[in-house]
């Protein structure tokens, strides 16, 4: 069994075939999906959780877990009402993580200090609710600016919680991978490791210890090389797992087993229920 540790199942791009898409995931061997609850902004943070309520328990579907969080460029909307809503969502046992949150200096949008403040407020809420975090970090091309700022924040506000988290769609170098591992994070690789030009990223992936890796789709974006440019979906995580297995020199079964084990280790409350 594989776990897709990051998919935007609430995307309107699945409105016509969401249930069939989830069935294809289970048929491909994807037993669980972490459904990311950022929507198009805080007003839609609950949609991922609601999808779990809609589909969990139906036969032929992967188990859905949810996150909730305010995306870096939505932090302009991180007012008191939004933060209260986030806190209430994180109190729900099916909302297992806070995210995706972080810093994005690649796209135009929220000012850096607004993103940073929004991140810190959310770290405080996640710490109080004892939920690991899902981090989105994207620097300006050719720099590590967002990473440098991110690590300063995480070292000050998150490291001591020992709750850890996931570096989602990891795209940094070895230095950023090492600092993430030092903070107790798992490193999640997406379909971009399958792209022809991604050799530097594959070189980093090959060095990450097997007990610290996850795989994800970031669906509907970032389809693996075989389907690049098309709509992505959780079933495609199989391709990313295959490339990662080759890089680490192990079988696909072993990657499935270790990424699943790593996921449940990060979320001990759900593994306590033996849900696989
Ligand atoms: Zn995402």
* Percent of the chain whose pLDDT exceeds 90: 94
Digit-coded pLDDT (tens) for 27-73:
999 999 999 999 999 999 999 999 999 999 999 999 999 999 999 99
* Percent of the chain whose pLDDT exceeds 70: 98
pLDDT attached to residue 276: 42
Q: At what angle do helices 174-182 and 145-157 cross, to 10 degrees?
A: 10
Q: What is the pTM of this model?
A: 0.96
Ligand 1 centre to CA of 71 (Å) is: 9
Ligand 1 centre to CA of 2 (Å) is: 18
Digit-coded pLDDT (tens) for 238-249:
999 999 999 999
Ligand 1 centre to CA of 250 (Å) is: 27
Ligand 1 centre to CA of 48 (Å) is: 12
The count of C-alpha atoms lying within 13 angstroms of the C-alpha of 262, restricted to the half-sphere facing its C-beta, is 28
Over 80: is that where the pLDDT of 272 sits?
no
Ligand 1 centre to CA of 257 (Å) is: 23
Q: Which of 15-24, 44-53, 180-189, 261-270 has the lowest mean pLDDT?
A: 261-270
d(CA 23, CA 26) in angstroms, rounded, equals 5
d(CA 31, CA 40) in angstroms, rounded, equals 26
């Amino acid at each position: 069994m594989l776990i897709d540790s990051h998919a935007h199942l609430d995307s309107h791009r699945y409105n016509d075939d969401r249930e069939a898409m989830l069935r294809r995931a289970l048929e491909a061997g994807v037993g669980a999906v972490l459904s990311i609850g950022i929507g198009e902004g805080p007003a839609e943070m609950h949609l991922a959780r609601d999808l779990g309520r809609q589909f969990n328990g139906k036969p032929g579907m992967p188990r859905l877990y949810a996150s909730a969080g305010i995306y870096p460029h939505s932090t302009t909307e991180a007012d008191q009402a939004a933060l209260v809503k986030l806190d209430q969502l994180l109190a729900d046992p099916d909302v297992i993580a806070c995210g995706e949150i972080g810093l994005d200096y690649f796209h135009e949008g929220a000012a850096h200090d607004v993103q940073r403040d929004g991140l810190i407020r959310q770290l405080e809420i996640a710490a109080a609710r004892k939920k690991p975090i899902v981090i989105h970090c994207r620097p300006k091309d050719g720099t590590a600016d967002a990473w440098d700022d991110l690590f300063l924040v995480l070292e000050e506000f998150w490291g001591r919680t020992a709750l850890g988290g996931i570096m989602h769609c990891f795209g940094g170098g070895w230095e950023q991978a090492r600092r993430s591992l030092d903070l107790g994070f798992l490193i999640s690789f997406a379909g971009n490791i399958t792209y022809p030009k991604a050799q530097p990223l594959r070189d980093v992936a090959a060095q990450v210890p097997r007990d610290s890796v996850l795989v994800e789709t970031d669906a509907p974006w970032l389809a693996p090389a075989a389907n690049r440019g098309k709509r992505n979906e959780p079933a495609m995580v199989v391709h990313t797992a295959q490339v990662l297995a080759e890089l680490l020199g192990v079988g696909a079964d072993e990657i499935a087993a270790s990424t699943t084990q790593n996921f449940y280790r990060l979320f001990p409350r759900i593994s306590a229920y033996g849900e696989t």
